[in-house]
Amino acid sequence: MNTASLLVELFVEELPPKALRHLGEAFADVLFGQLVAQGLTEPASQHVAYASPRRLAVHVSQVRVQAEDQAVSHKLMPVAVGLTADGQATPALLKKLAALGADASAIATLERVHDGKAEVLHLHSMVRGATLAQGVQKALDDAIARLPIPKVMRYQLQDGWSSVHFVRPAHGLVVLHGADVVEGVSALGLMAGRATHGHRFEARVDPIDLRDADSYAEQLRSEGAVIPGFAARRAEVQRQLAAAAASVGGGVHAIDDAALLDEVTALVERPKVLVCQFEAQFLAVPQECLILTMKANQKYFPLLDAEGKLTHRFLIVSNISPEDASAVIQGNERVVRPRLADAQFFFDQDRKKTLLSRVPQLAKVVYHNQLGTQGERVERVRAIAKAIGTQLFDAMSANNDTLQTPEGEIARDWLLECVDNAAHLAKADLLTDMVGEFPELQGIMGAYYAVNDGLPDEVAHAIEDHYKPRFAGDSLPRETVGVVVALADKLETLVGMFGTGNPPTGDRDPFALRRHALGVIRMLVEKDLPLSLSELLAHTQPAFEANITDISAVLSDFIYERLAGSLREQGYSAQEVDAVLALRPSLLAQVAPRLAAVRAFAALPEAPALAAANKRVTNILKKAGEVRSQVRPELLREAAEKDLYSALQTIAPKADAQFGHGDYTASLQTLAALRAPVDAFFEHVMVNAEEAELRANRLGLLQTLHDAMNRVADLSRLAA
- What mean pLDDT comes out for the span 511-524? 95
Whole-angstrom CA distances from 106 to 80, 94, 103, 348, 448 are 18, 10, 6, 89, 86
Residue 228 near residue 208 (C-beta atoms within 8 A): no
Distance CA 521, CA 516 (A): 9
State the sign of the Cα–Cα–Cα–Cα dihedral 253, 228, 27, 6: negative
Reported confidence tier of residue 319, pLDDT bands at 50, 70, 90: very high
Residue 104 confidence (pLDDT) above 80 = no
Q: What is the pLDDT of residue 386?
A: 95
- What mean pLDDT comes out for the span 280-302? 94
Residue 554 confidence (pLDDT) above 90 = yes
How many residues in total does the chain contain? 720
Distance CA 49, CA 8 (A): 10
Reported confidence tier of residue 114, pLDDT bands at 50, 70, 90: confident
| 626 Cβ contact list (under 8 Å, min separation 6) | none
Reported confidence tier of residue 405, pLDDT bands at 50, 70, 90: very low
Q: What is the pLDDT of residue 399?
A: 63
| DSSP one-letter code for 45 | -
Give the residues across from 51 on adjacent strands.
56
Q: DSSP of 603-654, one letter per residue?
A: TSTTHHHHHHHHHHHHHHHHHH-S--S---GGG--SHHHHHHHHHHHHHHHH
Q: What is the pLDDT of residue 506?
A: 81
- What mean pLDDT comes out for the span 516-522? 96
Helix residue spans in 38-116 (DSSP H)? 79-82, 91-99
Number of helices followed by number of strands (H, E) in the chain = 26, 22
Residue 279 near residue 312 (C-beta atoms within 8 A): yes
Distance CA 552, CA 116 (A): 56
**76 three-state secondary structure:** strand
Looking at per-residue confidence, does 484 or 631 come out higher?
484
- What mean pLDDT comes out for the span 240-264? 93
Looking at per-residue confidence, does 707 or 100 come out higher?
707
Residue 469 confidence (pLDDT) above 90 = yes
Each residue's pLDDT tens digit, 134-183:
888 999 999 999 998 878 888 888 777 788 888 898 899 999 999 989 99
Residue 481 near residue 459 (C-beta atoms within 8 A): yes
**339 three-state secondary structure:** helix
| Span of 91-95, 250-254, 355-359, 366-370 with lowest mean pLDDT | 91-95
% of the chain with per-residue pLDDT over 70: 97
CA 13, distance to chain mean position in Å, is 32
Residue 404 confidence (pLDDT) above 50 = yes
- What mean pLDDT comes out for the span 14-38? 92
Residue 400 confidence (pLDDT) above 60 = no
What backbone phi and psi angles, to 5 degrees, belong to 173?
A: -135, 125
The mean pLDDT of the chain is 89
State the sign of the Cα–Cα–Cα–Cα dihedral 277, 282, 287, 293: negative
**168 three-state secondary structure:** coil
Q: What is the pLDDT of residue 84?
A: 80
- What mean pLDDT comes out for the span 224-253? 94
Residue 286 near residue 435 (C-beta atoms within 8 A): no
Distance CA 295, CA 157 (A): 37
Distance CA 439, CA 447 (A): 14
Give the residues across from 301 on adjacent strands.
315
Looking at per-residue confidence, does 627 or 126 come out higher?
627
State the sign of the Cα–Cα–Cα–Cα dihedral 357, 359, 363, 369: positive
Rg of the chain, C-alpha, whole Å: 36
| Span of 113-122, 429-438, 641-650 with lowest mean pLDDT | 113-122
Q: What are the respective helix, strand and coil percentages of the chain, to the nearest 5?
A: 55, 15, 30
Distance CA 62, CA 2 (A): 9
Q: What is the pLDDT of residue 688?
A: 85
Residue type, position 613, single letter? A
- Angle in degrees, CA 673, 676, 678, rounded to 5: 95
**244 three-state secondary structure:** helix
| DSSP one-letter code for 249 | -
Residue 127 confidence (pLDDT) above 80 = no
E strands in 398-463: 404-405, 408-409
Residue 410 near residue 480 (C-beta atoms within 8 A): yes
Q: DSSP of 185-218, one letter per residue?
A: -EETTEE-BSEE---TTT-SSSSEE---GGGHHH
Residue 101 confidence (pLDDT) above 50 = yes
Distance CA 575, CA 714 (A): 10
- What mean pLDDT comes out for the span 297-324? 93
Whole-angstrom CA distances from 157 to 149, 165, 188, 305, 537 are 20, 10, 8, 53, 61
Distance CA 497, CA 478 (A): 27
Closest CA relative to residue 50, chosen from 25, 15, 32: 25
Residue 257 burial (C-beta neighbours within 10 Å; 0-12, 13-18, 19+): middle
Longest dimension (CA), the chain: 105
Residue 1 confidence (pLDDT) above 60 = no
H or E segment and range at residue 111: strand 111-114
- Angle in degrees, CA 231, 232, 237, rounded to 5: 95
% of the chain with per-residue pLDDT over 90: 60
Closest CA relative to residue 57, chosen from 264, 230, 200, 201: 230
Q: What is the pLDDT of residue 590?
A: 92
Q: For residues 225, 231, 237 and 238, what is the CA-based torsion angle, rounded to 10 degrees?
A: -160
Residue 273 confidence (pLDDT) above 50 = yes
| 484 Cβ contact list (under 8 Å, min separation 6) | 385, 388, 389, 392, 415, 419, 462
- Cis amide bond preceding 469, omega within 30: yes
Whole-angstrom CA distances from 221 to 56, 218, 232 are 16, 5, 12
Reported confidence tier of residue 406, pLDDT bands at 50, 70, 90: very low
Distance CA 355, CA 424 (A): 10
| Span of 44-48, 435-439, 690-694 with lowest mean pLDDT | 690-694
Distance CA 385, CA 362 (A): 19
Whole-angstrom CA distances from 328 to 189, 228, 333, 505 are 38, 24, 9, 50
- Angle in degrees, CA 329, 332, 333, rounded to 5: 85
- Cis amide bond preceding 406, omega within 30: no
Residue 183 near residue 133 (C-beta atoms within 8 A): yes
Find the distance separating the first CA and the last CA of the chain, reported in whole Å. 53
